[in-house]
Structure 1
Amino acid sequence: MAAYARAVCGYRGPLVVDGASRSTWQNVANVVPLIEGAGRIKIVSHSLHAEKAREYLWRQRPDLASRLVRGRDYRFGEWLLVKPALAVLGLRNLRRLRDR
């Protein structure tokens, strides 16, 4: 995502890359110290992954999750051939998360 932000989106500001996390849950937990002072929080990733991360933030830190704003998760034509299968799997996984 850092390379995408720089090369495609033209972002030139500071970036912090988390190389320690091994799961989305850990990534959300590890980024908390970096976002605690933010007025708005935007999670940007593949649409279903971003939704999962938002759900995890609500579970870990509802006080921070209340500052979430939507990012542009869907980009036209992205993963066009596999998107239907990924959507089914992702929705199933989200349903399991919410049922816990």
Structure 2
Amino acid sequence: MEAVVVLGFRNPQPTANAINRWRVRAGMRSLATDGARGTRVIFSGGAIGGGAAEARLMADYAKSQLGFDGTLLLEDRSATTWENITRVIPLIEDVDRIKIVSQPAHALKARAYLRRQRPDLAARVVRAEDYRAGEWMAVKPLLALYGLWTLRGIEADERK
């Protein structure tokens, strides 16, 4: 059994914004080779920007626009990356493989947080398909700078 955890991004509008839509697509391409069978997709994120929870908006996009009909769970109360991880732990404790999907630096931060909170689960983390060469080219330098800034509290040995 596998879990694909898709982390949300601040979303004040009534539908998934461009970043959350991209994260959902990256989550869908991260599914095991047998598709959705044997995989649970977990969307994580509260109503940070006002309105609906990020998790709900991403789930709606996955179902209505991408036709996802597999096992889907929502964690819709978290406000930070640390909370995302804390709140998804009960949903991933019984799986063999865990994929965390977000922009690469954010996913790295989330994996480090999982390692801090539950090293036993961190040992089950495998790479998600959340990086493709050429994606986000126009804003890649800004994303890289922001990613480095957000990783300032992550130790060198946690950068895996």
Pairwise TM-score range, normalised by the shorter structure: 0.7 to 0.9
Higher relative contact order (CA 8 A, sep 6+): 2
TM-score by length of 2: 0.54
In structure 2, do the counterparts of structure 1 residues 25 and 49 end up closer, same or farther at CA, with 3 Å as the change threshold?
same
For residue 86 of structure 1, what is the aligned residue in structure 2?
A: 143
Bigger helix share: 1
For residue 73 of structure 2, what is the aligned residue in structure 1?
A: 16
For residue 57 of structure 1, what is the aligned residue in structure 2?
A: 114
Give deviations 1:6-31, integer Å, cap 9, x for gaps.
434x5320111221000010010000
1:38 aligns with one of 95, 101, 105: 95
| Matching residue's letter, 2:141 | P
| Matching residue's letter, 2:73 | V
Question: Displacement, 1:92?
Answer: 3.5
For residue 73 of structure 1, what is the aligned residue in structure 2?
A: 130
TM-score by length of 1: 0.82
RMSD: 1.9
Q: Which residues of structure 2 form unaligned runs of 5+?
A: 1-23, 25-58
- Give the share of equivalent positions with the same residue, in percent: 54
Q: Which residues of structure 1 form unaligned runs of 5+?
A: none
